[in-house]
Amino acid sequence: MYKRSLILLFTAFLLTYSFSQAPDAHTLFIKNIYEESLTARNTNTVLQQLCQKFPRRLSGSNGLEDAVQWTKSLMEGYDFDNVFLQEVMVPHWERGEKESAYFYNSKGKKEHLSILALGRSIATPVAGISAQIIQVGSLQEIAQLGKEKIQGKIVYINKPFEQHFIRTFEGYTETVKIRTRGPSEAAKYGAVACVIRSVGTADDDYAHTGSLLYAANVPQIPAAALSVKSAKKLESALQHNPQSQLYLKINSKTLPDKMSHNVIGEIKGSEKPEKIIVIGGHLDAWDVGQGAHDDGAGCMQSVMALRMLQQMGYKPNNTLRVVLFTNEENGTKGGKKYAEYAFKNKEDHIFALESDAGAFTPRAIGINGPDSLVQKVKNWIKYFPDFTIDKIIKGKGGSDVEPLHKEMDTPVGSLMPDSQRYFDFHHTHADVFEAVNARELEMGTASMASFIYLVDQLGF
Amino acid sequence: MYKRSLILLFTAFLLTYSFSQAPDAHTLFIKNIYEESLTARNTNTVLQQLCQKFPRRLSGSNGLEDAVQWTKSLMEGYDFDNVFLQEVMVPHWERGEKESAYFYNSKGKKEHLSILALGRSIATPVAGISAQIIQVGSLQEIAQLGKEKIQGKIVYINKPFEQHFIRTFEGYTETVKIRTRGPSEAAKYGAVACVIRSVGTADDDYAHTGSLLYAANVPQIPAAALSVKSAKKLESALQHNPQSQLYLKINSKTLPDKMSHNVIGEIKGSEKPEKIIVIGGHLDAWDVGQGAHDDGAGCMQSVMALRMLQQMGYKPNNTLRVVLFTNEENGTKGGKKYAEYAFKNKEDHIFALESDAGAFTPRAIGINGPDSLVQKVKNWIKYFPDFTIDKIIKGKGGSDVEPLHKEMDTPVGSLMPDSQRYFDFHHTHADVFEAVNARELEMGTASMASFIYLVDQLGF
């Protein structure tokens, strides 16, 4: 009842004001986007469905392709003007049977560790690997120890998350090198396997997976991440017995590449249908938890931002397009392919905005574009209610929209939610629907809808 | 190691720069407050102790007085210059044995509801109360129905939380009237009891307690809150059978007032020891959960803000004082008594800052003081790192520092964290240490330490 009367009110409002560029109209429209989102909680409803129906959406999995079909149907059900798929070949890595690791403590008792193989890791032999552990605190230390100390051992990179950064993404960028580059760095000096302390902010027992990058011309070795609690347990064991051995078993396999899809839905522009404004997130997720924050939330926020504008009777000047990218996690093939198609088809993109930093209260929008544009857009902050988007800053798009910037110089951007909790959940079994707060999620939807509304109204 | 060298670095820094008022020194000092807090996580450590040792801290309870002694010892252990208690008489209400409520569904099956008696509620008779339910959506509707429809029944106020406000505190203020005034409003027209839908933002099964206010000259009736899920269950039952009866049993009692204490610790000012800057929270909590967000967090943030400044070698100009107020939840006797003592002892308070809005990422500081002061202080925003305190605004102190403003015109203020999740936990069994994110909590400590540092340095 409330919703219906709101929509009627706004349709009347639109007809009267014809979306003049008066600040009052924009401010009022955006206020109502937030109120409607917080009241109806529709993003929360569809995110729950996505997470519960298709919790596992790693590239190559049936779960991902089922989610592709489901999100396509969802947008078709909303009567978007066009809903279609884009073919994308993606890597197909599987974890296989659950990995395991243990050591014997000083009393001879077997201590199991909470562990996840890193994405792309090769398997251990079927019997597993047992070897002495050599603990290091950094990549540099591996090189310093050299072949003499490393050869034949399992390198354990025990580097805590760089907590002192206020934005956890900066701490992540600093710390994640041990995950991406650690295994090959260890292999260079003859390590037989590599385990790392999880790149996560919480002091808990969830291991964090994520991609490693095998360097060319270096033997590939199995690699996994320990939960922070398990990392501390192992650290303490090594203090008692520096000769401790670790048993590690990983059952992964890499299969031939497989066909996946970007899922696209759009509402055609009434004045300049050839001009495109993109919002999106990535539909694939690591094969643990439900990919709720990373990035089911970004996908559902993008779909529901468009849905909300549609329901409010808004007729865009330009074409508004949702893109749910495939394969962000272990390849970024979806984002790259999208930019390729856009280039090949000479599509005219005004702007692309991504949500891939968790379903937390939005605080800023980061823009990667010319300084003059960023300066202009900074003034739009006046249209946002207090305690929603606090600032619009020079920043980056996410990894799925950046290829569009590289390929065609399209300005791109990202929704920047509060970052304190993101790396508690990132790439873990804890990244489930229940870890998402409905109001925070909806604030993200409203922020995206509001921002693309402004781009559509005021131009870029 | 890291901490020690940081402290030494800053001591050296202090000696060199003697805290000149150059913005660079303040900016750098504040940056280091945040970094140190996020790295050491000391607030998180003591909050865990408080919550686990003294989970139940309602006024009149032994838990509260044990927490008084423990926090006193904690501050004595930190060698604060003065640590002392202030006597405060507080109300003593006890929930007694767990309350219960049920109805019979259309198939004759007994359906239990998740329920909590409201604070100050009288008990039902020992056998409980059974009566027909009359559902209303607002206080106004009670008056409209009048004695004819209400007499002898249990009034069920089924009003959802006002979700459309961006700051949930505004939604709370709108909605909480059903809790504070609903029972007496129902009693005016002859209701035998009153149940309300919980004043909370989450769609879950936790009931939210909190104080009711019995009106003078109106019979006192028992009153309780249903969880949102139970509220919906009852709503649905009433659709099938509007004649449904509710059984309600509440076992509370009100005992004679009891002696409690405000806990105070201070570091004396080196230049103007007679001038006092207060930070604080309230030590009492509802008798469910652990009072982690409300307000163990505010207490531990205040203590650790002072502790951090001390550990960084900071010598304040004015006296910095932590006050852990008693009895905020059902009486505000601690805050009122503190202001009384201050007035009687002619204490000179420059400013009092409260943290009582949950351990979430801080976003603003609200100041209740002269406009000229607020204007001046708004400029301090430049000293705060991005994504910490975004704005300093005209606002209010919390309920424990407002009496100081009323009594002596002292400028007061409150830490304003992101509010989206607060009323998911507020006054429920879910308000436990595990619901607090360590980084968000520490950001609050750092924000408080930074702000009182600026008040101390730049004056008010």
In terms of CA atoms, which chain B residue is nearest residue A360?
B420
B292 to each of A21, B289, B295, B332, B357, how far by Cα in Å? 47, 8, 6, 19, 11
Q: How many CA atoms lie within 13 A of A43 on its CB side?
A: 36
In terms of CA atoms, which chain A residue is nearest residue B160?
A39
Does B168 sit within 8 Å of A438, measured CB to CB?
A: no
Does A418 sit within 8 Å of B164, measured CB to CB?
A: no
Chain B residues with CB inside 8 Å of A175's CB?
Answer: none
Chain B residues with CB inside 8 Å of A34's CB?
Answer: 164, 166
pLDDT per residue over A230-270, tens digit each? 999 999 999 999 999 999 999 999 999 999 999 999 999 99
* Closest C-alpha to A281, from A415, A137, A139, A100: A415
Of A163, A388, A440, the CB nearest to B38: A163
pLDDT per residue over B317-348, tens digit each? 999 999 999 999 999 999 999 999 999 999 99
Task: Compute CA B387 distance to the chain's CA centroid, rounded to the nearest angstrom.
Answer: 24
For residues B108-113, give the mean pLDDT.
Answer: 96
pLDDT of residue B423: 98
CA distance A289 to A293: 10
Cβ-in-10-Å burial (0-12, 13-18, 19+) of B18 comes to: exposed
Does A424 sit within 8 Å of B443, measured CB to CB?
A: no
pLDDT of residue B460: 87
pLDDT per residue over B119-135, tens digit each? 999 999 999 999 999 99
Three-point CA angle B37, B39, B44, nearest 5° = 60
Chain A residues with CB inside 8 Å of B440's CB?
Answer: 420-421
- The DSSP output letter for A293 is I
CA distance B285 to B420: 21
pLDDT greater than 60 at residue B13: no
The Cα of B408 is separated from the nearest Cα of chain A by a number of Å equal to 31
CA distance A180 to A235: 21
pLDDT greater than 80 at residue B5: no
pLDDT of residue B66: 98
Of B166, B363, B443, the CB nearest to A385: B166
- The DSSP output letter for A410 is -
Best probe of the B interface among A361, A389, A393, A447, by most B CBs < 10 A, is: A361
Does B390 sit within 8 Å of A363, measured CB to CB?
A: yes
For residues B422-433, give the mean pLDDT.
Answer: 98
The Cα of A99 is separated from the nearest Cα of chain B by a number of Å equal to 28
pLDDT band of residue A21 (cuts 50, 70, 90) is very low
Dihedral of CA A71/A76/A82/A88: which sign? positive
Does A166 sit within 8 Å of B34, measured CB to CB?
A: yes
pLDDT of residue B425: 98
Classify strands B362-368 and B391-394 as parallel, antiparallel or unpaired: parallel
Q: By percentage, how much of chain B surpasses pLDDT 70?
A: 95
Instruction: Report chain B's C-alpha Rg in angstroms.
Output: 24
CA distance B438 to B412: 27
CA distance A83 to A65: 16
pLDDT of residue B12: 47
**Contact status, residue B393 vs residue B426, Cβ threshold 8 Å:** no
pLDDT greater than 90 at residue A286: yes
DSSP result, A160-212? ---TT-SSHHHHHHHHTHHHHTHHHHHHHTT-SEEEEE-S-SS-SS-----B-
Q: By percentage, how much of chain B surpasses pLDDT 90?
A: 94
pLDDT greater than 80 at residue B16: no
pLDDT band of residue A460 (cuts 50, 70, 90) is confident
Task: Return the residue matching tokens 């079994």.
Answer: A429
DSSP result, A156-171? EE-----TT-SSHHHH
CA distance B430 to B288: 8
**Contact status, residue B412 vs residue B401, Cβ threshold 8 Å:** yes
CA distance B177 to B132: 23
Of A35, A364, A420, the CB nearest to B443: A420
The Cα of A452 is separated from the nearest Cα of chain B by a number of Å equal to 20
CA distance A223 to A249: 10
Q: What does the mean pLDDT of chain A come to?
A: 95
B interface with A, Cβ–Cβ < 8 A, is 34-36, 38-39, 41, 163-168, 201-203, 361, 363-364, 385-388, 390-391, 418-421, 424, 437-440, 443
Chain A residues with CB inside 8 Å of B387's CB?
Answer: 166-167, 363-364, 418-419
CB neighbours of residue B104 within 10 Å: 15
pLDDT per residue over A99-125, tens digit each? 999 999 989 999 999 999 999 999 999
pLDDT of residue A382: 96
For residues B77-96, give the mean pLDDT.
Answer: 98
pLDDT of residue B207: 98
For residues B284-293, give the mean pLDDT.
Answer: 98
At A59, the amino acid letter reads S
pLDDT of residue A8: 46
CB neighbours of residue A105 within 10 Å: 15
Does B39 sit within 8 Å of A163, measured CB to CB?
A: yes
CA distance B425 to B206: 8
Of B201, B387, B443, the CB nearest to A439: B201
In terms of CA atoms, which chain B residue is nearest residue A161?
B39
pLDDT band of residue A75 (cuts 50, 70, 90) is very high
pLDDT of residue A2: 44
The Cα of A439 is separated from the nearest Cα of chain B by a number of Å equal to 6
Does B166 sit within 8 Å of A388, measured CB to CB?
A: yes
For residues A330-340, give the mean pLDDT.
Answer: 98
| Catalytically annotated residue among B99, B328, B329, B440 | B328
Q: Which two tokens stand for residue B427?
A: 């006054």
Of B164, B386, B438, the CB nearest to A38: B164
**ipTM for this model:** 0.94
Best probe of the A interface among B5, B35, B163, by most A CBs < 10 A, is: B163
Which are the catalytic amino acids of A? Answer: 328
pLDDT band of residue B3 (cuts 50, 70, 90) is very low
A interface with B, Cβ–Cβ < 8 A, is 34-36, 38-39, 41, 163-168, 201-203, 361, 363-364, 385-388, 390-391, 418-421, 424, 437-440, 443
In terms of CA atoms, which chain A residue is nearest residue B204?
A434
The Cα of A35 is separated from the nearest Cα of chain B by a number of Å equal to 5
Number of A–B residue contacts, CB under 8 Å: 86
Does A424 sit within 8 Å of B167, measured CB to CB?
A: no
Q: Which two tokens stand for residue A211?
A: 């991609």
Phi, then psi, of B164 in degrees rounded to 5 = -75, -15
pLDDT of residue B23: 54
For residues B376-396, give the mean pLDDT.
Answer: 96
Chain A residues with CB inside 8 Å of B415's CB?
Answer: none
pLDDT band of residue B8 (cuts 50, 70, 90) is very low
Lowest pLDDT segment from A155-159, B2-6, B47-51, B210-214: B2-6
